[in-house]
């Protein structure tokens, strides 16, 4: 995964000896036990492994939500864990897009308004932000459902709204937590295909945590984790529009 050729894409995310422990003393639990990792720009990386192996902790650290206990971290040249809380929140708002397993759409907002939330967080005026959300939804084939509330949408449609929300502010890092687990197989494949074709472009990194073996073929690289460590890495040659 690390850059080997002279003209290879630059490394976007680099971790070295990253650890994360929860609690202290007898109740101390090590969630990450020394992660070394480098992810290049323009790649879709999937994290797989059994429950409790540290996948969610790792993406929480990469996205600046959690801070590691020790180790080195660089995400697009910056270590979010060294920022103040406010600066870290600001960094997340500008740099990271999130796709959650349960979508986490705001139930009282329309699809277009939900898609606009990251722009609203950045202070973009309401109408302008919603217009951008509408445009993103149209790109994802949901142009006719912009005014629908989440409860009026199918699971696949809701996840597409979540993807539109994750991309609307053009973040460099897209973090997806089990984006297909709440969807049927066909819808799940469509969603991951959409993620790959829409999200992946030069300079952006997509990290997907998944248990879903069927979508692994969409990954540029697969990291297998177990007991807080990366135990295997594999790479696939894919075009961005596979």
Of 1, 30, 38, 65, the one binding other proteins (CB under 8 A) is: 65
85 is a site residue for other proteins (CB under 8 A): yes
Which CB, 93 or 135, lies closer to other proteins? 93
Binding-site member from 45, 60, 157, 158 for other proteins (CB under 8 A)? 60
Neighbours of 189 (CB within 10 A): 17
Shortest distance in whole angstroms from residue 208 CB to other proteins:
13
Give the shortest CB-96-to-other proteins separation in angstroms. 8
Give dist(CA 138, CA 136) in Å, integer: 5
Report the interhelical angle of 155-167 vs 126-139 (nearest 10°).
Answer: 120
Site for other proteins in 87-126 (CB under 8 A): 89-94, 96, 98, 100-102, 104, 106-109, 113, 117-126
Would you say 129 or 194 has its CB closer to other proteins? 129
Pairing of strands 173-177, 221-226: unpaired
Give how many residues touch other proteins by CB under 8 A: 38
CB of 163 to other proteins, least distance (A): 14
Choice between 91 and 190, CB closer to other proteins:
91
Q: Considering the complex, state which of residue 76 and residue 91 has its C-beta at the smaller distance from other proteins.
A: 91
Segment lying near other proteins (by CB under 8 A), choices 52-60, 137-145, 194-202, 212-220: 52-60
Of how many residues is the chain composed? 242
Shortest distance in whole angstroms from residue 60 CB to other proteins: 4
* Cα 195 to Cα 192: distance, rounded to the nearest angstrom: 5
Determine if 63 is a binding residue for other proteins (CB under 8 A).
yes
Residue selected from 177, 188, 219, 230 as contacting other proteins according to rule CB under 8 A: 177
Q: Which residue do the tokens 């009026």 mark?
A: 152
Helices (H), 77-125: 85-95, 111-115, 117-121
Please say which residue, 1 or 89, places its beta carbon nearer to other proteins. 89
Q: Which long-range contacts (CB under 8 A, 24 or more apart) does 49-54 make?
A: 49/224, 49/225, 49/226, 49/231, 50/226, 51/211, 53/225, 53/226, 53/227, 53/228, 54/20, 54/225, 54/227, 54/228, 54/229
| Residue list 213-242, contact with other proteins (CB under 8 A) | none
| 228 neighbors 32 (Cβ within 8 angstroms) | yes
Closest approach, Cβ 55 to other proteins, in A, equals 9
Q: What is the DSSP letter of 83?
A: S
118, 186 in Cβ contact below 8 A?
A: no
DSSP for 50-79? STTSSHHHHHHHHTTSS--SEEEEEETTB-
Interface with other proteins (CB under 8 A)? 56-57, 59-60, 63, 65-66, 85-86, 89-94, 96, 98, 100-102, 104, 106-109, 113, 117-126, 129, 177
């Amino acid at each position: 995964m690390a850059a080997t050729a002279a003209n290879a894409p630059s490394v976007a995310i680099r971790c070295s000896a990253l650890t994360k422990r929860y609690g202290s003393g007898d109740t101390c639990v090590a969630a990450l036990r020394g992660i070394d990792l480098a992810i290049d720009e323009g790649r879709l990386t999937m994290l797989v492994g059994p429950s409790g192996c540290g996948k969610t902790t790792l993406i929480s650290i990469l996205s600046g939500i959690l801070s590691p206990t020790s180790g080195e971290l660089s995400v697009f040249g910056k270590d979010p864990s060294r920022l103040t809380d406010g600066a870290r929140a600001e960094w997340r708002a500008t740099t990271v897009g999130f796709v959650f397993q349960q979508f986490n759409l705001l139930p009282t907002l329309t699809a277009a308004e939900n898609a606009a939330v990251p722009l609203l967080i950045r202070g973009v005026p309401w109408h302008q932000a919603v217009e951008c959300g509408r445009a993103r939804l149209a790109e994802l084939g949901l142009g006719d459902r912009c005014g629908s509330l989440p409860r009026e949408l199918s699971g696949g449609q809701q996840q597409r709204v979540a993807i539109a929300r994750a991309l609307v502010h053009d973040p460099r890092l897209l973090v997806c937590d089990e984006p297909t687990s709440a969807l049927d197989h066909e819808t799940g494949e469509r969603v991951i295909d959409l993620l790959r074709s829409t999200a992946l472009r030069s300079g952006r990194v997509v990290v997907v945590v998944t248990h879903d073996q069927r979508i692994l073929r969409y990954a540029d690289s697969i990291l297998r984790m177990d007991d807080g460590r990366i135990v295997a890495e594999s790479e696939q040659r894919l075009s961005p529009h596979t």
